[in-house]
């Protein structure tokens, strides 16, 4: 369960070719929630974004710009750089940097 005794977090990485990713390993060492890879083809991106049941997800190449069209709202930073790196309702305190800090590693 997460900090507010809600349903357990489920998170992951959205991209196209992810077999090289160390993200699941890193999150397993630094976080207390499952983190999986989601390889989604370009033609299924919109459907995946609308129908996934994740708490939140990171977005990587090649979808950082394409995913913007599926966002309900964009931060000023995302608008400025023209890319999105985090999707879903994941609270900011569940970022990798915050988990590093919790583990005593200065990020």
DSSP secondary structure string for all residues of 12-70: EEEES--TT--HHHHHHHH-SS-EEEEE--GGGHHHHHHH---SEEEE-TTSTTGGGGG
Position 4 scores a pLDDT of: 55
Task: Identify the active-site residue in 4, 64, 80, 102.
Answer: 64
pLDDT of residue 47 exceeding 60, the answer is: yes
pLDDT band at 56 (very low <50, low <70, confident <90, very high): confident
Instruction: Tell me the mean pLDDT in the region 10-16.
Output: 92
Measured between alpha carbons, how far is 26 from 32 in angstroms, rounded to an integer? 11
pLDDT of residue 41 exceeding 90, the answer is: yes
Measured between alpha carbons, how far is 63 from 42 in angstroms, rounded to an integer? 8
Higher pLDDT, 77 or 45: 45
| Whether residue 62 has a cis bond before it, omega within 30° of 0 | yes
4 is catalytic: no
Position 106 scores a pLDDT of: 54
């Amino acid at each position: 369960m997460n900090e507010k005794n809600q349903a357990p977090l489920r998170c992951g990485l959205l991209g196209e070719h992810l077999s090289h990713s160390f993200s699941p390993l890193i999150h397993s060492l630094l976080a207390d929630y499952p983190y999986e890879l989601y390889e989604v083809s370009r033609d299924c991106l919109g459907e995946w974004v609308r129908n996934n049941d994740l708490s939140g997800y990171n977005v990587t190449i090649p979808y950082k710009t394409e995913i913007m069209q599926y966002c309900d709202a964009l931060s000023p930073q995302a608008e400025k750089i023209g890319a999105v790196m985090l999707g879903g309702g994941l609270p900011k305190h569940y970022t990798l940097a915050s988990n590093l800090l919790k583990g005593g590693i200065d990020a």
